[in-house]
Every structure is written in structure tokens, then in C-alpha cells.
Structure 1
Amino acid sequence: MFDRILALLRAPAADFTLMPEADARHALGALLVRVAKADGAYLFQEIEEIDHLLADLYNLNAVEAARMRAECEKLEAAMPDTSELAHILSCDVTSHERDGLVRALWQVADSDGQRHDTEMQVVAIATQTFGMSPEAAAALRA
């Protein structure tokens, strides 16, 4: 019995965040994470903004939003194609909702106070997949 207990204590910690379904909610979260990570730095301000956006969009409390972000981080890591994430999202939202989603992408891109071409590229891929012109996407940033 003691051997089993010691074995459990010595075992590496399990990763308790499950892989979410690739639904529209998680695809948006994964895109937000992708934008935040695009410049190679995943900063606290960006994480905080993602949690705030997820809480507002889906009526979540702070813990639920952080848990959802953790799930979205897993999905983002598992899906290397940005246009595929955007396609999942675009299938389930209206054109009016897309404007709000693009605004959310810009909010994360701008949350660290710097403009990075790599973040703008992720937003451009997503908006192109949504069928939105670059001019319309830029107007939503303002």
C-alpha cells in the first residue's frame, strides 16, 4: 500500500485542463490567444484582456473565464491553421456578431500597447476568412 502512495506522489502532475470541442466559443478564444502569442510574448495584459472579453461575451465569472482561456490555449496549440480556427467561428456567427469578434481580436492585439505585424497578420487571416475586407477590419480597430 505504501508503495502505491509513494508512486502517486512521485508521478508527474497530470494536466487537468481538457481539450475543448472546436466550437465557435472556443475557436474565438483560441484566436484571441493566437493573436496574443503572435509576437512571441504572451503578456499578462493580453491574458487579462482575453479573460475580460470571454467573461463579457459569454457571461462568465473570472474563474470560469480563466478556465475557458486555459481550454482555448490547448485548442490554439493543437490547431496550427489560423484560417481553420476562423472558419469554425465564421460558420456559427452572424455578420453583426463578426464585427464584435473582430473588435475583440483588435483589443487583444492592442492590449500590450504595441503594434506588431505578426498580430496584425493573424487578424488579417481571420477577417479574410470571415469574408471581411481589410478596410472594414481596419475601421473596426478605430
Structure 2
Amino acid sequence: MFADLLRKLTGTPDDTTLDANDARLAMAALLVRVARADDLYHPAEVARIDAVLRHRYDLIEADAVSLRTEAEALEAQASDTVRFTRLIKDAVPYEERDAVIEAMWYVALSDDDRSEDENALLRMVANLIGVTDRDSALARQRAANRL
């Protein structure tokens, strides 16, 4: 399954067909990548990822954990953040992309340590999915207020 998705992600845009499950897995993998950006994978971040996946995709706990586990394996194998963001950009309407960034900030801020690596990754992801710096900052503030 991962090999197939990795082949789709590394193929040219014209020869790939990605479905909604692929988009969910890409979103989960980006959340994992954000959590691991500071070279720590804190239990609080894992719990936040599960919470985001449950809420965003209306999953039960076991399904969210399963999706996160798959995403952890995929994230470890995939070196290219750009491919994940391309899939998110294609799958998520523009009006909802700030919620994607808010979810990522929610995970990044959950360990009470906002690292430069996390900041840099979130700036890059926001830019790649078409969210402005201002909207990303507002999403960060909303995420911080939720903590």
C-alpha cells in the first residue's frame, strides 16, 4: 500500500490518480512530519494528531490511531514534503486550507516548544498550499487559544 502511494506521489502529475483516502493519509503524514520537525516526537503531539484526525475525518479512536500509524510509516519513507502539500492543495478547497494549517499549528504547539524547524516547515507548507503568512499567523493564534 505504501509503495503504491509513494509511486503515485513521486509520479508526474499527469499520470497519477489519488483518491480521498490518499489525501487523508497525506494530511496525516504532514501532521506527523510537523510533529517530528524538531527531532522529537512527543506523546502530546501523538495525542493531538489523533484528535485532529478524529475531528477532521469523523473517525473513532481506533481508526484515527490506525491512520496515524500508517502515516508515520509513510512519512518515514517519503522525503518530499512538496508532494504531500500538492495533494492537500488539490483535495482541500481554498476556504478550508487555513484549517489545515491551524491543525498543523495545533500539533506543533502541543509540546510547549515552538522550534525554528517547526516554524520553517509550517511557513513552507502554508506557502505551498496557498495560505498567506497572515492567515497562517491567525491559524497559529487560534491553535494556541485552543491549548
Q: TM-score category by the smaller chain?
A: 0.7 to 0.9
Could you tell me how far apart the structure 1 residues matched to 2:78 and 2:89 are?
16
Name 2:113's counterpart in structure 1: 114
Could you tell me how far apart the structure 2 residues matched to 1:74 and 1:88 are?
18
Could you tell me how far apart the structure 2 residues matched to 1:83 and 1:135 are?
21
Gap runs ≥5 in structure 1: 1-17
RMSD: 1.4
Name the SS of the counterpart of 1:91 in structure 2.
helix
The list of structure 1 runs, each at least 4 consecutive aligned residues, that deviate by more than 4 angstroms after superposition, is none
Q: Is the Cα contact below 8 Å between 1:82 and 1:125 reproduced in 2? A: no
1:71-122 C-alpha deviation (Å, 9 max, x unpaired): 1111111211112211111111101221111100000010001111111111
Q: Is the Cα contact below 8 Å between 2:98 and 2:131 reproduced in 1? A: no
Alignment map for 1:1-142 (pairs within 5 Å): 19=2, 21=5, 23-142=22-141
Name which one, 1 or 2, has greater alpha-carbon Rg: 1
Could you tell me how far apart the structure 1 residues matched to 2:43 and 2:74 are?
19
Amino acid at match of 1:117: E
State percent identity of aligned pairs. 35
Amino acid at match of 1:68: L
Gap runs ≥5 in structure 2: 10-21, 142-147
Q: Is the Cα contact below 8 Å between 1:87 and 1:129 reproduced in 2? A: yes
Q: Normalised by the size of structure 1, how large is the TM-score? A: 0.83
Stretch deviating more after TM superposition (42-51 or 112-121): 112-121
Q: Which has the higher helix share?
A: 2
Amino acid at match of 2:102: R
Q: Is the Cα contact below 8 Å between 1:82 and 1:122 reproduced in 2? A: no
Name 1:13's counterpart in structure 2: none
Could you tell me how far apart the structure 1 residues matched to 2:99 and 2:69 are?
22
Q: What is the number of equivalent residue pairs in this alignment?
A: 125
Could you tell me how far apart the structure 2 residues matched to 1:42 and 1:65 are?
17
Amino acid at match of 1:129: L
Name 1:4's counterpart in structure 2: none
Amino acid at match of 2:122: V
Q: Normalised by the size of structure 2, how large is the TM-score? A: 0.80
Could you tell me how far apart the structure 2 residues matched to 1:140 and 1:100 are?
7
Could you tell me how far apart the structure 2 residues matched to 1:44 and 1:113 are?
12
